[in-house]
């Protein structure tokens, strides 16, 4: 494989952002026809930056791109697409109110700007594409009403409809459930069979091991090396990424839980479309306990968290924190009572992207005395606080005054986690806490949650990552259509039992 | 109410519908593409004024309509350059235009015709009606044209590639950009179409419906058109219906005011608000809560 000319080569790419951040310091990667190349690297290593350059979204400061041996320069994504390169982003770029068909044909609707769109013809072409790849998406439903996994397939179809033969996928699995990941991989294998070339970015080592042919590892804007997947191990990859050995296990000493900190009684919550999303849940979280909630996304987890955190109306039932009825209380009152919340959707609920790292670092506690000077904020104290968070959680940020949107995805997540635990809560809701976070930081965040538990705090963990829930929880519930299919101890169930419960089969009732 | 009155009321409603419908439909197109413009009131003023001048110079009402469209186009181009290409604020230019329109037209009437506040357009410069009866009821050719414009606008917006792209750049310009759609070009084109339609509406006021130019000729119709656009849920056909409703109640109010028996029993302040309130309730009731295009009023800059 190594002797043939690569279908794509990015040579000596340097990228300095306008604010002076050196994201890439001379990166060279080669991609061969028909392979799946994994791109691995810590948060902020420069993976997204590199791919945005390839896709014509960013101009490289220096460096060249060769496509089939010929130098190319893309001025825009459309340019890249016309040259057969497609990209599916970490954050989807779909027109939410359009259906799949409209999203896909946009810009390629056929002849005549003012003639009627030939919907049937487009539908036929799409159906053929889907049949070849062995999956279906509903073409007539507004995409905002579709699960993320389906939206992602629409993004992929959008690129294939344009006949791209090199497909870039930036952390495609971060938002997917395990089942959706398996389906995605089936699609990727089909694409590979058809001769397409794929660049695959992920933080999950086992995924990279499973799906890729070769892996290129990037650290701090430089290539560390490239290995054949067949000759790699997760440990090796982790070491290449981080530059040291990474413990992929979590130390969790046994611990007797204490008094009940948090309790939910017969909770009913409605979803956005008025359906009953949470249907009569009752559970409690004790001091010194991590209570995990697993389940396929979209089974009411989001609504449950929002209701608990005071962001959504409780239809029926009660919520207690430290014995006090907190049903219907506002978020600020809840924070003052010792609740913290790592939201699942960082860009909409956790951060204000346009504001600086410093400002974001005190969101939700900006009224606290420690940050004020009379009626004003004491910016020195705020900056100190931000610096402390950055240091402790190794958030790589250009500075405390940089806007949060200039942080890489994983670093944004780390900042939220750092801020929330800095509130010194007695009860913390952690929703998808390690989504999009690299291995080293995932390890750090998970250990931190365990540390909170060891310090006798109550932790409610909600995650689509089943391994995460299994590893961290003292007790776990499996949620299906707004109800718990069972509350179990992770070491007392088999994966199969959990799989059944995730599919809606009730488990044995347990004490 | 006899048959003649019904006909009169109906024709009056259609006549009043035209300027609001044209302006609303234009505004729908512009906002679907993501550009807010609150300066239609100003465009109506200017194009009513210049439309009359063009019509009188040519001795033909249609030249006035074209002239109005041209004047609208100029203001639209200015708004488009400021908002779409220079990424400026979408609201401020409109405020300026409205203030300017109010002052400049009053001054212009005096400067050009030498009369204070009002000028009657001679009949040879007016558009002749399609149909007229002995009582002075008439139907302007602009009525079927307006209905056609609304239908075509709806069809283009929802059935053609052009419309799909207009809506895409108003909802998620980033997505459109990534697929090679020239966001700025589509937004700019939409602004031009919108302001040209408002220009036609303005000229219609002076060279057709009212047959006069006054310093308050727009009479808030630019703003009503905007409200109607919102309540229509950014849909040209419903905007057309809303404009007709407004025209209907506007005429009904006049009818009630002119009827001594009714006018005595209902306070006129109430009657005068009738068209506004009823249109609002009915149109809002039909549509419910509509959502504006997601990028409406926000400039798009590529990262
Ligand atoms: N618009 C921007 N302005 C300034 N700096 C930026 C900008 N976007 C990214 N960076 C910086 O460039 C570096 C690389 O970021 P990039 O998003 O490429 O990382 P990544 O490898 O994709 O990380 P992750 O795994 O967290 O997504 C980071 O240090 C980041 O803070
Ligand atoms: Mg990234």
Pocket test for ligand 1, best of A44, A169, A218, A347 (most atoms within 8 A of CB): A44
pLDDT tens across B178-195, in order?
A: 898 999 999 999 999 999
B interface with A, Cβ–Cβ below 8 Å: 156, 159-162, 164-165, 167-168, 171-172, 174-181, 291, 294, 303
| Residue with CA at minimum distance from ligand 1 atom 25 | A43
> Rounded to the nearest 5°, which phi and psi values hold at A220?
45, 45
Return the CATH number at A141.
Answer: 3.40.50.300
Task: Give the pair of three-digit tokens for residue B141.
Answer: 């050719």
Q: % helix / strand / coil in chain A, to the nearest 5?
A: 35, 25, 40
Candidates B164, B177, B181; nearest CB to A102 = B164
DSSP code per residue over A280-300:
EEEEEEETTEEEEEE--TTSS
- In this predicted structure, the answer to whether residue B206 has a pLDDT above a threshold of 70 is yes
d(CA A78, CA B183): 12
**Which pLDDT score, from 0 to 100, does residue B67 have?**
98
Q: For the residues A478-491, what does the mean pLDDT come to?
A: 91
pLDDT at A117: 93
CA–CA distances in Å: residue A191 to residues A5, A28, A130, A215, A452: 21, 25, 11, 18, 44
Which among A10, A13, A49 is the best mutation to test ligand 1's pocket, defined by most ligand atoms within 8 Å of the CB?
A: A49
C-alpha closest to that of A423 among A384, A366, A378: A366
Helix (H, G, I), strand (E, B) or coil at A225: strand
> Given CB atoms, is A110 within the 8 Å cutoff of chain B?
yes
Residue A481 CB neighbours (<10 A): 16
Q: How much of chain A exceeds pLDDT 70, in percent?
A: 98
One domain, residues A328 and A383: yes
- Residues of chain B contacting residue A142, judged by C-beta atoms under 8 Å apart: none
B22 neighbors B257 (Cβ within 8 angstroms): no
pLDDT at A15 over 70: yes
In the prediction, which pLDDT does A114 show?
A: 92
Q: Residue A248: which pLDDT band, with cuts at 50, 70 and 90?
A: low
ipTM of this complex prediction, to 2 decimal places: 0.90
pLDDT per position as a tens digit, A174-195: 777 777 888 899 999 999 999 9
Q: How many CB atoms lie within 10 A of CB A183?
A: 17
Which among A81, A82, A96 has CB closest to B294? A96
Contact present, B298 and A354 (Cβ < 8 Å): no
Average pLDDT, chain A: 89
Rounded-to-integer distance, Cα A56 and Cα B154, Å? 35
Residue of B nearest to A18 (CA): B303
Using the CB atoms, write b or e for A309-321: b if 16+ within 10 Å: bbbbebeebebbb
Q: Are residues A208 and A108 in the same domain?
A: yes
Confidence of residue A295 (pLDDT cuts 50, 70, 90): confident
- Same domain as A274, residue A215: no
- Domain ranges for chain B, please list them: 18-236
Asked if residue A477 lies in contact with residue A500, where contact means CB atoms within 8 angstroms, the answer is: no
Could you tell me whether strands A339-342 and A427-431 are parallel, antiparallel, or unpaired per DSSP bridges? Answer: parallel
Write the DSSP assignment of A384-431 as a string of letters: HHHHHHHHHTT---S-TTSBGGGS-HHHHHHHHHHHHHTT--SEEEEE
- Residue closest via CA to ligand 1's atom 6 equals A406
Judged against a pLDDT cut of 80, whether residue A71 lies above it is answered with yes
pLDDT at B265 over 60: yes
Q: Determine contact, residues B19/B208, Cβ cutoff 8 Å.
A: no
A14-24 mean pLDDT: 91
Asked if B161 and B37 touch (Cβ cutoff 8 Å), the reply is no
Distance CA B222, CA B218 (A): 7
- Residue A231 and residue A121 in one domain: yes
Which of A187-201, A402-416, A463-477, A490-504 is predicted least confidently?
A490-504
A233-237, A504-508, B50-54, B158-162: range with lowest mean pLDDT: A504-508
> How many beta carbons lie within 10 A of that of residue A495, not counting itself?
10
User: Which of A115-119, A148-152, A211-215 tops mean pLDDT?
Assistant: A211-215
Instruction: Judge: B167–A93 Cβ closer than 8 Å, yes or no.
Output: no
Q: How far is B296 from chain A (nearest CA, A)?
A: 13
User: Does the pLDDT of residue A318 top 70, yes or no?
Assistant: yes
Residues 6+ apart with CB under 8 A from A51: A39, A87, A168, A170, A199, A201
Q: Are residues A498 and A349 in the same domain?
A: yes
Q: Which of A237, A221, A220, A265 is nearest to A38 (CA)?
A: A237
Residue A345: which domain range? 260-502
Does residue A58 form part of some domain?
Answer: yes
CA distance B221 to B238: 17
Question: What is the band of A322 on the pLDDT scale with cuts at 50, 70, 90?
Answer: very high
Cβ contact, residue pair A112, B161, below 8 Å: yes
Predicted pLDDT of residue B263: 67
Tokens encoding A315: 């239809």
CA distance A449 to A418: 11
Residue A353, classified by CB atoms within 10 Å of its CB into exposed (0-12), middle (13-18) or buried (19+), is middle
* Interface contact flag, B176 A106, Cβ < 8 Å: yes
Q: Is residue B266 predicted with pLDDT exceeding 80?
A: no
Residue A254 placed within a domain: no
Q: For chain A, state the CA radius of gyration.
A: 24
* CA–CA dist B80, B88 (Å, integer): 10
Rounded to an integer, the average pLDDT of A426-451 is 89
Note whether A276 and A300 are within 8 A (CB): no
d(CA A379, ligand 1 centre) in Å: 26
Query: What's the pLDDT tens digit per position in A128-156?
Result: 999 998 888 999 999 988 887 889 999 99
Determine the residue of chain A that is closest to B164 in CA distance. A106
Please check whether residue A230 lies inside any domain of the structure: yes
Mean pLDDT (chain B, rounded) = 92
**pLDDT at residue number B282:** 74
* Index of the ligand 1 atom closest to the CA of residue A408: 17
Mutual orientation of helices B3-32 and B221-231 as an angle, nearest 10°?
Answer: 70
Per residue, what are the HEC states of A148-182? HHHHHHHHHHHHHCCCCCEEEEECCCCCCCHHHHH
Q: Report the gap between the CA of A213 and the closest CA in chain B (Å).
A: 29
Strands A339-342 and A324-325: unpaired
A507: number of Cβ within 10 Å:
17
Same domain, A283 and A219: no
Examine the domain organization and report whether A57 and A187 are in the same domain: yes
Please check whether residues A482 and A395 belong to one and the same domain.
yes
Which has more confidence, A293 or B280?
A: A293
- Segment holding A339, helix H or strand E: strand A339-342
State how far the Cα of A129 lies from the Cα of A122, in Å rounded to an integer. Answer: 11
- How many domains is chain A built from? 2
Among chain A residues, the shortest Cα distance to B172 is held by A95
How far is Cα A467 from Cα A234, in angstroms, rounded to an integer? 16
Contact residues, chain A, for B168 at CB < 8 Å:
95, 98, 106
Minimum distance, in Å, between the CA of residue A450 and any CA atom of chain B: 39
Q: What percent of chain A is predicted at pLDDT more than 90?
A: 57
Residue of A nearest to B174 (CA): A93
Look at residue A1 and tell me whether its pLDDT is greater than 60: no
Of B167, B179, B303, the CB nearest to A78: B179
Answer whether residue A232 is part of any domain.
yes
Same domain? For A227 and A266 the reply is no
> Are A202 and A170 contacting, i.e. CB atoms less than 8 angstroms apart?
no
Which residue in A22, A7, A94, A112 sits closest to A54, CA to CA? A7
Question: Quick one: pLDDT band at residue A325, thresholds 50, 70, 90?
Answer: very high
pLDDT of residue A449: 93
- A397 has a pLDDT exceeding 80: yes
CA distance A207 to A271: 32
Ligand 1 atom closest to residue A50's alpha carbon, by position in its atom list: 18
Q: Which of A53, A87, A90, A93 to mutate to test the interface with B (most CBs of B within 10 A)?
A: A93
Q: How far is the CA of A407 from the centre of ligand 1 (A)?
A: 5
Please indicate, yes or no, whether residues A163 and A75 belong to a single structural domain of this protein: yes
Establish if A338 belongs to a structural domain.
Answer: yes
Q: Does the distance separating the beta carbons of A106 and B164 come in below 8 Å?
A: yes
Q: What CA–CA distance (Å, rounded) separates B63 from B153? A: 23
Minimal Cβ distance to A81: which of B156, B161, B180: B180
Please indicate whether, in this complex, the C-beta atoms of A109 and B178 are within 8 angstroms of each other. Answer: no
Separation of CA B153 from chain center: 14
Q: Which two tokens stand for residue B276?
A: 């506004």
In contact, A310 and A492? CB cutoff 8 Å: no
Residues A219 and A275 in one domain: no
Tell me the pTM.
Answer: 0.80
pLDDT tens per residue across span A83-116: 999 999 878 899 999 999 999 999 999 888 999 9
* pLDDT tens sequence across B137-175: 899 999 999 999 999 999 999 999 999 999 999 999 999
User: Which residues, judged by CB distance below 6 Å to any ligand atom, belong to the binding site of ligand 1?
Assistant: A 17, 19, 21, 23, 41, 43-49, 396, 398, 406-411, 438
**Residue-level pLDDT at A210:** 94
* Alpha carbon nearest to ligand 1 atom 24, residue: A43
Q: Which two tokens stand for residue A425?
A: 């809560």
pLDDT of res. B200:
98
pLDDT in tens, A328-377: 899 888 988 999 999 887 777 788 888 889 888 888 777 788 888 877 88
By C-alpha distance, which of A408, A377, A378 is closest to A394?
Answer: A408
Q: State the smallest CA–CA distance between residue A125 and chain B in angstroms.
A: 17
Confidence of residue A510 (pLDDT cuts 50, 70, 90): very low
Is A344 a member of any domain?
yes
- Which atom, in ligand 1's list, is nearest to the CA of B303? 1
Cα distance between residue A237 and residue A41, in whole Å: 9
CA–CA dist A84, B297 (Å, integer): 34
Beta carbons within 8 Å of B11's beta carbon, 6+ residues apart: B137, B138, B139
- Residue A28 in tokens: 């060279």
Q: What tokens were used for A102? A: 């409209």
Q: Which of A51, A95, A114, A403 to mutate to probe the B interface, most B CBs <10 Å?
A: A95
């Amino acid at each position: 494989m190594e002797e043939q000319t690569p279908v794509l080569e990015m040579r000596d790419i340097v990228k300095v952002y306008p604010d002076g951040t050196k994201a890439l310091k001379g990166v060279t990667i080669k991609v061969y026809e028909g392979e799946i190349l994994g791109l691995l690297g810590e948060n902020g290593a420069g993976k997204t930056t590199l791919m945005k350059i390839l896709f014509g979204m960013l101009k490289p400061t220096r460096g060249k791109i060769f496509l089939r041996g010929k130098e190319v320069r893309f001025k825009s994504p459309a340019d890249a697409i016309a040259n057969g390169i497609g990209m599916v982003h970490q954050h989807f770029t779909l027109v939410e109110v359009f259906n799949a068909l409209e999203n896909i044909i946009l810009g390629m609707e056929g002849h005549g700007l003012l003639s009627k769109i030939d919907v049937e013809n487009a539908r036929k072409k799409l159906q053929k594409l889907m049949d070849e790849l062995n999956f279906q998406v509903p073409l007539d439903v507004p995409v905002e009403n579709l699960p993320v996994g389906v939206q992602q397939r629409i993004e992929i179809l959008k690129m294939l409809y344009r006949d791209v033969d090199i497909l870039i996928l930036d952390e495609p699995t971060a938002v997917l459930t395990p089942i959706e990941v398996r389906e995605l991989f089936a699609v990727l294998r089909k694409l590979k069979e058809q001769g397409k070339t794929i660049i695959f970015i992920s933080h999950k080592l086992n995924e990279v091991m499973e799906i890729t042919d070769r892996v290129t590892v990037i650290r701090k804007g430089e290539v560390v090396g490239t290995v054949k997947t067949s000759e790699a191990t997760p440990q090796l990859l982790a070491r290449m990424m981080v530059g040291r050995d990474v413990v992929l296990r979590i130390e969790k000493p046994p611990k007797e839980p204490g008094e009940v900190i948090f309790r939910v009684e017969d909770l009913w919550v409605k979803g956005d479309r008025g359906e009953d999303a949470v249907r009569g849940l009752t559970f409690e979280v004790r001091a010194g306990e991590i209570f995990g909630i697993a389940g396929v996304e979209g089974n009411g987890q989001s609504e449950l968290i929002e209701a608990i955190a005071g962001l959504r109306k409780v239809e029926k039932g009660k919520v207690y924190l430290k014995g006090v009825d907190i049903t219907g209380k506002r978020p600020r009152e809840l924070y003052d009572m010792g609740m913290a919340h790592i939201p699942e959707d960082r860009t909409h609920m956790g951060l204000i992207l346009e504001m600086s790292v410093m400002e974001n670092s005190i969101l939700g506690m900006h009224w606290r005395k420690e940050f004020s000077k009379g009626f004003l904020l004491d910016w020195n104290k705020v900056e100190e606080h931000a610096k402390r968070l950055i240091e402790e959680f190794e958030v790589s940020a250009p500075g405390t005054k940089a806007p949060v949107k200039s942080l890489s995805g994983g670093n944004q997540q780390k900042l939220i986690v750092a801020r929330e635990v800095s509130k010194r809560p007695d009860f913390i809701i952690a929703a998808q806490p390690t989504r999009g976070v690299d291995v080293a930081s995932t390890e750090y965040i998970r250990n931190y949650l365990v540390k909170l538990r060891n310090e006798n705090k109550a932790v409610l963990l909600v995650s689509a990552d089943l391994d995460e829930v299994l590893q961290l929880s003292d007790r776990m519930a499996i949620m299906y259509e707004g109800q718990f299919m069972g509350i179990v101890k992770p070491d007392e169930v088999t994966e199969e039992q959990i799989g059944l419960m995730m599919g809606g089969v009730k488990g044995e009732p347990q004490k | 109410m006899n048959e003649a009155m019904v006909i009169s009321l109906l024709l009056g409603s259609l006549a009043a519908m035209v300027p609001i419908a044209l302006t609303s439909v234009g505004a729908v197109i512009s906002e679907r593409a993501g550009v807010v413009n609150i300066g239609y009131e100003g465009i109506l003023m200017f194009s009513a004024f210049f439309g009359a001048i063009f019509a009188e110079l040519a001795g033909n009402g249609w030249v006035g309509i074209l002239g109005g469209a041209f004047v609208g186009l100029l203001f639209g181009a200015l708004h488009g350059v400021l908002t779409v290409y220079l990424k400026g604020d979408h609201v401020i230019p409109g405020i300026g235009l409205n203030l300017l329109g109010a002052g400049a037209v009053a001054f212009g009437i005096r400067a050009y015709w030498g009369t204070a506040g009002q000028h009657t357009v001679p009949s040879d410069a007016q558009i002749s009606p399609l149909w007229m009866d002995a009582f002075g009821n008439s139907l302007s050719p602009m009525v079927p044209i307006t209905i056609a414009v609304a239908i075509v606008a709806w069809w283009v917006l929802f059935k053609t590639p052009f419309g799909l792209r207009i809506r895409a750049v108003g909802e998620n310009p980033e997505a459109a950009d990534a697929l090679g759609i020239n966001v700025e070009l589509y937004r700019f084109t939409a602004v031009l179409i919108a302001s040209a339609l408002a220009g036609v509406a303005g000229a219609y006021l002076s060279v057709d419906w009212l047959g006069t130019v006054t310093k308050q000729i727009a009479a808030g119709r630019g703003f009503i058109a905007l409200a109607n656009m919102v309540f229509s849920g950014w849909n040209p056909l419903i905007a057309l219906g809303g404009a007709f409703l407004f025209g209907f109640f506007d005429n009904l109010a006049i009818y009630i005011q002119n009827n001594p028996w009714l006018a005595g029993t209902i306070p006129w302040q109430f009657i005068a608000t009738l068209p506004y309130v009823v249109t609002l309730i009915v149109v809002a009731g039909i549509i419910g809560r509509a959502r504006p295009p997601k990028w409406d009023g926000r400039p798009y800059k590529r990262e």
